[in-house]
Structure 1
Amino acid sequence: MADQAFTVTEDDVRAMLLAADSIAGQAGRNMLAKVLKGSRDKKLLALGLDNSPAYGYFRMLTLDQITERVDWMILNDFLAIDRNRDMPLLVFTDRGWDIHIENMSELLLKQWETWDKTVPTDMTYLKDRNRSMILLFLEKVAHTGDARYIPLLQQWAPLDYRKVREAIGKVIDHLEKGHSEPLMLEGAHRSFYCTPGEPIIEPRGSERLKCWECGKRFEWTVEEQDKFRMRGWNPPKRCESCREQRQKQREAWLWE
């Protein structure tokens, strides 16, 4: 990837994570590339993947060019390959999930900002969403301090599950009373791998890992990271010396 002839922007990263939301754990790299291409593939259409907000985001690129960008997402630890099933499937990394959850909650808030709060709206689209994301979204609504959101919240509350209804009630109370302090909802997503507003694309370099065998620190080079991530392997648990020793032990057992 050192010779890549393309640039990936933060908007590209968010769009690819958005597209991955509809296939994570169910399909692989090729299907994600097709969603981003805006393909009319029969399987894609049958699964309703053309309804993804990121469908056709890379419409002007070839599938090979899009796949290169999907692979970049894997190498840069936004997505991962899960090979523990019959076929390799794409999944979110912890870092990618953090960014995606934050992005989704912001998109929902921006959508609400454009709506006429007095017009009845079908709020069923919010039911059965990831709960930690929905609670984070509700926190963001509360943090606006804008009581004009109350009618939307009142329309939503009767349609959702008890815990979400209770959280909506707290947000309504927060907005009605004009509280200035932030509202923290139990179960709302808390990011550990990214900070909202901070750059999400960082220069890659070697990582320092601790060997589970001898306890020493060792370098996990970018080249090794590429190899491990594209094969769906977890980071190495042992340093090179301990790995070699372990391999010798295995070979010895085979000859016993």
Structure 2
Amino acid sequence: MTIHRRDEKQQLPLPQEEIFVILNAADEISARGGRTMLAKLLKGSKDKRLIGLELDKTPCYGYFAKNTLDEITTKIDWMLKHEFLAIEIYGKLPLLVFTERGWKITRSLQIESFLNEWNTWLDQGKVDIDMTYLKERNREMMLLFLERIKESGDLKYVPYMRMWAAIAFKKVATVINMTIDEMLKQSSVAKGSSLYPREREEVLMALQMNMLVLQPKILKCWDCRERFVFEVEEQEFFKLKGFNDPKRCPECRERKMLRRMGIDLEAGDSL
């Protein structure tokens, strides 16, 4: 009778929080450890291998400190049974890996974790962040992280995105910069021809932190067809206003403005 009750207890679904914790812990040892290592990590074991891998510094270390290793292993087995995790043999070693189901959940959790971390740093006013911790992360996850930032539409993330782009691999850096451009354009379209004060402050902050690396541009005027220099100072002004690059040179822009005022210099009108 007692054994029957224990079996029933083992079949009970794990609370969502415990599922998330076990998945996060599994991510720390994925493809390099098995059930035993995961159980020790969650127990908070002083195992030399755990300490050597610095797994004692992870947030999930010791989460189930009050449980026995057998109880923790039972939870892990429940995760295996319900296909959040799987065991694959590498060489002769049985190692834990994510199933598609488990990976989707873990990916979403980590993306929110990254975003929450950025929010904390922004609230603390941190402006010098070492973004190399994102460089070796799963590329698919990083692209989804960018999508999550883009969905937020919040330009406060732009300075950090610039820092990230500076150290990212070329393909990822390209996507980061494209995402920034799209966010700036969307903000401009949604809120009118110029950015709101908060967005102006964020872009200005990025400029002041030298994260929007601007160089003089050579553009071709749509009216006179002559080339002209789009200076850095003017670029900064256009970005703060949410404008695209000018289509006309300064002289043609001035002539166009005067024509709107009813003054045509070519027809002999005087100022």
The alpha carbon displacement at 1:111 in A equals 1.2
The alpha carbon displacement at 1:7 in A equals 5.1
Q: How many residue pairs end up in the alignment?
A: 181
User: Where do 5+ consecutive residues of structure 1 fail to align?
Assistant: 182-256
- 2:137 matches 1:132: no
Partner of 2:9: 4
- 2:138 matches 1:114: no
Q: Do the aligned residues in 2 keep the contact of 1:124 with 1:156 (CA within 8 Å)? A: yes
The alpha carbon displacement at 1:8 in A equals 1.3
Aligned match for 1:165, one of 173, 180, 183 = 173
Mapping 1:194-213, distance limit 5 Å: none
Q: Give per-residue Cα distances to partners, 1:172-205, cap 9 Å, x unaligned.
A: 1122123589xxxxxxxxxxxxxxxxxxxxxxxx
Distance verdict in 2 for CA 1:65–1:150, change over 3 Å = same
The residue identity in structure 1 corresponding to 2:67 is L
Partner of 1:32: 38
Q: Give per-residue Cα distances to partners, 1:100-134, cap 9 Å, x unaligned.
A: 11111111111112222662211111110001001
* Consecutive aligned runs of 4 or more in structure 1 exceeding 4 Å deviation: none
Distance verdict in 2 for CA 1:62–1:2, change over 3 Å = closer
Q: Distance in 1 between matches of 2:154 and 2:174?
A: 19
The residue identity in structure 2 corresponding to 1:149 is Y
The alpha carbon displacement at 1:83 in A equals 3.1
Q: Distance in 2 between matches of 1:130 and 1:89?
A: 19
Partner of 2:54: 48
The residue identity in structure 2 corresponding to 1:4 is K
Mapping 1:183-198, distance limit 5 Å: none
Deviates more, 1:3-12 or 1:55-64: 3-12
Partner of 2:258: none
Which gives a bigger RCO, structure 1 or 2 (Cα 8 Å, sep 6+)?
A: 1
User: Where do 5+ consecutive residues of structure 2 fail to align?
Assistant: 1-5, 191-271
Aligned match for 1:71, one of 64, 68, 77 = 77
- Using structure 2 for the length normalisation, give the TM-score: 0.63
The residue identity in structure 1 corresponding to 2:149 is V
The alpha carbon displacement at 1:4 in A equals 2.1
SS in 2 for 1:21: helix
Aligned match for 1:144, one of 147, 152, 155 = 152
The alpha carbon displacement at 1:28 in A equals 0.8
